[in-house]
């Protein structure tokens, strides 16, 4: 199939090139100018592009830009820079022009253009689906080593734990497991599996991330089966200047280090960006400060309810380390205002480091290739063709001279043709066809014999974004999936948005749909390899279906932006892993109906003096009951907060950012081997980080950070694997150099 898709790609490319050769273009003219802040200082790296086309440029070290344009009609130039209000200006065709843009600081990010919620570029304030953006400024304030660290400080209602057995990160988001949340890089699904039903979160190199867009709730209409609980779209950096170059070094006292380098250019029609990184953190062990108290509930010999409290012995838990090499390559060529091709490629290698050296070591690797063709038939009709090939593997690497052994292989192909039509200024139509194929080798299949299973999905989707008036808009869509095993299924969605002054109301309904994974269907695995119990798949599983209603109210006035949102979700045929009828083994099955209810609150103040205060709260009500006992370990209350202050003294910009996270205590139950129910109580958790930064002339930037500022440590790390244990206070230093600013390019 790969060969056929590549042939299709080159046919489309050749057709577009032939069409380009016969296009009677208007004579080209030069568009040039400068972008400055309110003080007249040039803004390097500002984005300048012509709306409705693929033509644009980034500003150099002095804030200057220049590019050629050939258009017979008037067009609009849009200029944007993080932290500033974007500006637009009309361009007169055929006349060489010089433009000067003076950008003003933004009170909020609502004019920032996003794409994830609708698959079309829209200002954040006009998206009918409530979307959360983690900007490059937000990322710099946290200065995270990995994606996990960033999301924990930015997203309440989310928690990372350690998967049983592998010890790899495992996500819970709004009460749903990681497999219910679709992670994408530049709009394309991340393949592979780290811990069970979770992606490998180490695939994300934070030094290569420009921003992250998060849409909560079912997004199956646009993005398919895995988007049942939401979408996290990671937008990576592009070469946005005539020359781009960055080098950074990070070191922490807790045995962590990172080195990264990126080089790129945007010259005329061609752009390229190469990114390389190496990061390492040693494995470590944590000891319990005290034993875990468990409360066992059972019937005594007289049939009376009895409770026995028992304190476990203090133990020790280890957290795996990693040694990661990563490379990313982006290439792009713009033939004219309407036609562009791009090619992205990635490589990743992760050696998992264990606290106690084993005879075999886990090695995860991944490589992907993504060619893409963008063709605007005219200003109102756009085609976007994309193909993604991804190969994710896990190997056992032995300490002896034995060759490595492949135990997991996930080979995926995705081809998509997307159409966007802008009709009479009120209608935006999005339609597409998509084909997904997967071939999976898993060590859970046939006890690791190397057996493979495959699946194919054929997709049609359609969405209409109707701007009824300046204050009211409707977004409605439907997606039809035709699966090789489960046949046809339709997933509808509708969202409404109404604006009244400073108030924006959003509401909607969405159906989620998740097809059982190949692992859930075909597993046959001896857990631990000692014959203790087997884990079986279930070929009779039904797809999961969810129905969610959402409502939100957002207020924006001056320096304040805040929102309150609520959701109610009901799941049918939720897939779970439980005991077989004889109680000896485990098997996947469709559980009873389940519900999840939640409320999110967010508020932000951005003062003129450089101070920003931001806080977010999430409440989750998750019911996963057996005989009236709630087995869920999700913390019902969580809170994140940020205080950031920045000030420029001469040519030196200083910043200080305090980030914090609080999670409530929780009671959770499990059923023991004799049929009794046991209750565990886990304490609340609070941890903060402090980052002090200084940006000097010629592109030098230094950040000193204190992680886990108040030295929080869990009382019992061995009992609660639903959260990542804290090892105590850590000190971090990061030095980065912008080579383009250093050389004034």
Residue in 147, 152, 188 with CA at minimum distance from that of residue 173: 152
Query: Is the pLDDT confidence value at 51 over 90?
Result: no
pLDDT tens for 268-313 read 889 999 999 999 999 998 888 887 777 777 665 555 567 777 777 7
E-strand ranges in 108-239 read 113-114, 122-123, 131-134, 158-162, 169-173, 176-177, 181-185, 188-189, 209-216, 230-236
| Per-residue tokens: 513 | 């749909």
> Domains of the chain: which residue ranges?
2-102, 113-742
pLDDT > 80? residue 687: yes
pLDDT tens digits along 187-222: 999 988 887 788 999 999 999 999 999 988 778 778
Alpha helix stretches (DSSP H) within 84-169:
136-142, 147-154
Tell me which architecture the domain covering 113-742 has in CATH: Beta Barrel (2.40)
pTM of the model: 0.90
Place of tokens 């059982």: 516
- Per-residue confidence at 23, pLDDT binned at 50, 70, 90? very low
Q: Compute the distance between CA of residue 467 and CA of residue 183 in angstroms, rounded to an integer.
A: 29
Alpha-helical segments (H) within 676-738? none
* DSSP letter string, 437-487: EEEEE-TTSGGGS--EEEEEEEEEEEEEEEE-SSSEEEEEEEEEEEETTTE
Q: How high does pLDDT run on average in the chain?
A: 88
Task: Return the residue matching tokens 């992760």.
Answer: 350
Q: State the pLDDT at residue 221.
A: 79
Domain 2-102 classification at class level: mainly beta
Q: Is the pLDDT of residue 1 over 60?
A: no
Residue 625: what pLDDT?
67
Least Cα distance to 202 among 116, 343, 320, 286 occurs for 320
| C-alpha to C-alpha distance for 115 and 235, rounded to whole angstroms | 10
Q: Comparing C-alpha atoms, which of 272, 280, 277, 370 is closest to residue 327?
A: 277
Residue pair 645/655 in contact by the 8 Å Cβ criterion: yes
CB 36 within 8 A of CB 732: no
Q: Are 2 and 10 in contact (CB under 8 A)?
A: no
Rounded CA-CA distance 518/524 in Å is: 12
The CA angle 636-616-153, to the nearest 5 degrees, is 85
Residue 246 in contact with residue 274, Cβ under 8 Å?
A: no
Of 594, 577, 595, the C-alpha closest to 586 is: 577
Residues 349, 735, 112: CA angle, nearest 5 degrees: 80
pLDDT at 530: 75
Q: What does the alpha-carbon distance between residue 314 and residue 337 come to, in Å, rounded to a whole number?
A: 67
């Amino acid at each position: 199939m790969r060969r056929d898709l590549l042939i299709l790609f080159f046919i489309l490319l050749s057709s577009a090139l032939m069409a380009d050769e016969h296009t009677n273009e208007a004579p080209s003219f030069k568009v040039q100018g400068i972008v400055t802040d309110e003080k007249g200082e040039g803004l390097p790296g500002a984005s300048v592009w012509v709306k409705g086309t693929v033509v644009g440029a980034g500003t150099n070290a002095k804030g200057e830009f220049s590019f050629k344009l050939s258009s017979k009609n008037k067009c609009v130039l849009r200029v944007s820079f993080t932290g500033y209000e974007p500006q637009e200006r009309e361009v007169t065709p055929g006349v060489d022009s010089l433009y000067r843009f003076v950008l003003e600081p933004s009170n909020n990010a609502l004019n920032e253009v996003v794409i994830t919620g609708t698959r079309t570029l829209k200002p954040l304030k006009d998206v009918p689906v409530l979307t959360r953006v983690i900007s490059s400024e937000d990322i710099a304030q946290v200065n995270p080593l990995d994606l996990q660290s960033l999301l924990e400080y930015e997203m309440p209602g989310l928690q990372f734990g350690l998967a049983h057995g592998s010890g790899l990160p495992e996500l819970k988001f709004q009460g749903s497991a990681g497999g219910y949340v679709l992670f994408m890089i530049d709009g394309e699904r991340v393949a592979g599996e780290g811990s069970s039903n979770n992606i490998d979160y180490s695939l994300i190199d934070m030094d290569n991330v420009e921003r992250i867009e998060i849409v909560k709730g079912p997004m199956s209409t646009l993005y398919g089966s895995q988007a049942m609980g939401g979408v996290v779209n990671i937008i990576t950096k592009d070469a946005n200047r005539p020359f781009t170059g960055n080098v950074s070094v990070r070191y922490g006292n807790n045995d962590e280090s990172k080195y990264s380098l990126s080089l790129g250019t945007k010259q005329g029609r061609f752009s390229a960006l190469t990114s390389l990184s190496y990061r390492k953190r040693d494995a470590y062990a944590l000891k319990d400060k005290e034993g875990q108290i468990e409360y066992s509930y059972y019937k005594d010999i007289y049939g009376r309810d009895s409770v026995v409290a028992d304190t476990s012995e203090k133990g020790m838990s280890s957290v795996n380390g990693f040694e990661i090499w990563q490379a990313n390559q982006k290439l792009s060529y713009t033939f004219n205002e309407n036609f562009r091709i791009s090619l992205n490629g990635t490589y990743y290698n992760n050696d998992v480091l264990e606290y106690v050296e084993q005879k075999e070591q886990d090695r995860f690797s991944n490589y992907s290739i993504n060619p893409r063709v963008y063709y605007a038939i005219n200003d109102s009709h756009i085609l976007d063709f994309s193909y993604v090939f991804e190969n994710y593997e896990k190997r056992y690497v032995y300490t002896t001279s034995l060759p490595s052994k492949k135990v997991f292989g996930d080979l995926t192909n995705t081809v998509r043709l997307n159409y966007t039509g802008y009709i009479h200024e009120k209608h935006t139509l999005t339609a597409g066809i998509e084909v997904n194929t997967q071939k999976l080798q898993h060590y859970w299949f046939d006890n690791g014999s190397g057996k493979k299973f495959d699946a194919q999905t054929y997709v049609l989707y359609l969405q209409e974004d109707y701007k009824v008036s300046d204050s009211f808009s409707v977004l409605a869509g439907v997606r039809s999936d035709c699966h090789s095993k489960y046949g046809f299924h339709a997933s509808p969605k509708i969202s409404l948005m109404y604006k009244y002054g400073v108030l924006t109301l959003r509401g909607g309904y969405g159906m989620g749909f998740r097809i059982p994974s190949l692992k859930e269907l075909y597993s046959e695995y001896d857990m631990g390899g000692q014959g203790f119990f087997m884990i079986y798949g279930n070929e009779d599983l039904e797809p999961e279906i969810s129905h969610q209603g959402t409502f939100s109210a957002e207020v924006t006035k001056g320096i304040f932006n805040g929102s309150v949102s609520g959701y109610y979700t009901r799941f049918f045929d939720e897939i779970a892993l439980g005991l077989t009828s004889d109680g000896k083994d485990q098997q996947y099955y469709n559980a009873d109906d389940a519900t999840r209810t939640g409320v999110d609150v967010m508020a932000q103040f951005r003062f003129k003096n450089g101070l920003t205060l931001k806080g977010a709260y999430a409440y989750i009500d998750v019911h996963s009951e057996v005989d009236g006992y709630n087995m869920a370990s999700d913390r019902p209350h969580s809170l994140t907060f940020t205080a950031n202050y920045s000030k420029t003294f001469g040519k030196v910009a200083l910043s200080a950012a305090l980030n914090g996270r609080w999670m409530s205590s929780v009671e959770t139950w499990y059923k023991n081997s004799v049929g009794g129910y046991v209750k565990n109580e886990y304490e609340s958790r609070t941890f903060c980080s402090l980052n002090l930064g200084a940006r000097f002339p010629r592109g030098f930037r230094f950040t000193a950070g204190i992680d886990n500022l108040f030295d929080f440590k869990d009382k019992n790390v061995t009992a609660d694997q639903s959260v990542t244990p804290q090892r105590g206070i850590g000190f971090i230093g990061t030095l980065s150099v912008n080579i383009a600013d250093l050389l004034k390019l």
